[in-house]
Amino acid sequence: MTTLPTQLQHDLQALAGEGGYRDATERDVTEMRGRYRGGSTLVLRPKTTEIAAAIVSRCAEAQLPIIPIGGATGLVAGHIASENQTGVLLSTERLVNIREINSTDRQLVAEAGVILANVQAAATAKDLLFPLSLAAEGSCTIGGNLSTNAGGVQVLRYGNTRDLVLGVEAIMPNGEILNGLSPLRKNNTGYDIKNLLIGAEGTLGLITAASLKLYPSIKDSCTALCPVASPAAALALLSQLQHELGEFISAFELISGQGLHFLREHFPQLPQAISPPPEWSVVLELGSSAENELKKLAESALTKAIQKDLILDAVISQSETQRQQIWSLREHIPLANKKVGAIVSFDISLPLSKLALFIKTAVPKVQDFDGNLRINCFGHVGDGNLHFNVFPPIDKLACNYRSQQTEIRSAVYDLVQKMGGSFSAEHGVGRDKVSELLQYGDPTKLEVMASIKKALDPNGIFNPGAVIDPRK
Ligand SMILES: Cc1cc2nc3c(=O)[nH]c(=O)nc-3n(C[C@H](O)[C@H](O)[C@H](O)COP(=O)(O)OP(=O)(O)OC[C@H]3O[C@@H](n4cnc5c(N)ncnc54)[C@H](O)[C@@H]3O)c2cc1C
């Protein structure tokens, strides 16, 4: 990273005030899976929206790139500035107040740097629910969640982050504050700017706070782990359960046998609910805001599913500890994957009708490169979202396959495109998938995106190199 002009650095530090800046740490400049390393050395950490606005104004005047950063858990290098770029990291780590919780409005207003788990806990303390839930919830921030339009395990019932947001406060690229916090559920008054900022991955401004929708808390729940014969059987099971249990279904996750083998290898202390690991299984969670005897309903529905050969067995949690054990298996899968080291990781979505065929076709396609490649295919199958990760054979390393990475990526993405899917379901584009967006994105959509970026950020200071191709 090239150094900032001395006067500019001095001005920015003065605006940020005491405790308002620091040197970048390893966490700030390294992508979670270690695939990218960035260069920004100065991290600005405003304590208030007004200070953040003053910093953005000064950067706008100097046309200095700004890279917003939250919990640094993003998986597409959105917060990793390129090494030879001058700029600053603008962190929300001191914007950590929960400004309001209103039970009547069913609304919580959180500043952007509040860790997701703390938003959930604040809602729970008022006997309400904020349903966004993902394995990184102990470190990711609500600002990062909005900026990536995060998905997670309860999209099936509550939608993506976008569906959970009522309003947004943000600093636009010219330094002006957008005052969009609102408890309103209906507000058709012109363009929906909040929905431009949600999912923009920090390319259109800095989100400083959000009004979030709260739901009735869960009073009755039931979690089950069910081995299934195949992904097709998993989808048939989902369809049957949706007819029988409707909106009680809050999560429906696919786990592959390969994922359970990785867990055995790298987290042997985790109790494996079913032994030996089944080739495929699903985690099902039901939840209700009123007492509905969900365990009984689940037992009855899953017994029918066994009779119809949709599932091979079912472990239904009998206690909170057992429930957590089942979820812990699912949530440790990305961590085990990181320890094994993937050659390529895909976060794709497909129409549900194509999902089983995709897996059937993609696995041999990838193994054409090397029959011993290991594939851990898992994820939010109820939303058509698969994490399809390709690993080296047991005695090899991912770096042995560097020369084949691009070809494997193209083979899988071409298939996804052919089947009407998306090359990025929930992680976003960041810097990692800019070329895929160019290749697979609708040309008109790309033109509109470039026009919006030019209109709101004419000098391209917000997160240059992320999402939008820098040559556009
Ligand atoms: C173990 C693990 C599991 C995960 N599971 C899921 C999952 O199930 N579903 C899912 O969707 N994602 C998942 N992720 C990805 C990640 O957690 C999410 O993308 C999360 O929303 C990122 O939040 P963050 O605060 O860490 O953002 P960061 O990583 O800091 O930033 C992400 C992007 O948002 C921008 N940004 C951050 N804060 C702001 C802000 N206030 N204003 C404007 N731009 C901003 C950054 O510039 C960057 O482009 C997982 C990650 C890990 C490590």
Residue 40 has pLDDT above 90, yes or no: no
230 part of a folded domain: yes
Say which amino acid occupies 467: V
Tell me the percentage of the chain whose pLDDT exceeds 90: 90
CA of residue 129 to ligand 1 center, whole Å: 21
The number of the ligand 1 atom at minimal distance from the alpha carbon of 139 is 26
Residues 6+ away with beta carbon under 8 Å from 372 = 393, 394
**What angle, 0 to 180 degrees and rounded to 10, lies between the N-to-C axes of helices 231-245 and 294-307?**
140
323 part of a folded domain: yes
Closest CA to 185 of 161, 164, 200: 164
Residue 202 has pLDDT above 70, yes or no: yes
Q: What is the pLDDT of residues 61-90, one digit of tens each?
A: 999 999 999 999 999 999 998 777 779 999
Say which amino acid occupies 316: I
Task: Report residue 82 CA to chain centroid gap.
Answer: 22
Can you give the CATH number for the domain in which 167 is found?
3.30.465.10
Residues 103 and 65 grouped into a single domain: no
Residues 6+ away with beta carbon under 8 Å from 21 = 12, 13, 42, 43, 44, 45
Beta bridge partners of 253: 283
Task: Report residue 269 CA to chain centroid gap.
Answer: 27
Q: What pLDDT sits at residue 38?
A: 78
Nearest residue (by CA) to ligand 1, atom 11, is 150
Q: Which long-range contacts (CB under 8 A, 24 or more apart) does 35-38 make?
A: 35/77, 35/432, 36/77, 36/80, 36/431, 36/432, 37/80, 37/83, 38/1, 38/67, 38/77, 38/79, 38/80, 38/81, 38/82, 38/83
Residues 63 and 102 grouped into a single domain: no
Residues 6+ away with beta carbon under 8 Å from 401 = 343, 369, 370, 373, 392, 408
Task: Compute the mean pLDDT over every residue in the chain, rounded to the nearest whole number.
Answer: 95
Looking at 91, 126, 142, the residue that finishes a domain is 91
Structural domain of 247: 220-338
Residues 232 and 246 grouped into a single domain: yes
Tokens 């005047």 identify what position? 61
Looking at 279, 304, 338, the residue that finishes a domain is 338
Q: What angle do CA 385, 423, 254 make, to 5 degrees?
A: 20
Residues 111 and 65 grouped into a single domain: no
Of 31-40, 164-173, 401-410, 434-443, give the lowest mean pLDDT range: 31-40
Ligand 1 binding pocket includes 72 (Cβ within 6 Å): yes
**How many structural domains does the chain have?**
3
To test ligand 1's pocket by mutation, which of 28, 140, 378, 468 has the most ligand atoms within 8 angstroms of CB? 140
Cβ(385)–Cβ(347) below 8 Å: yes
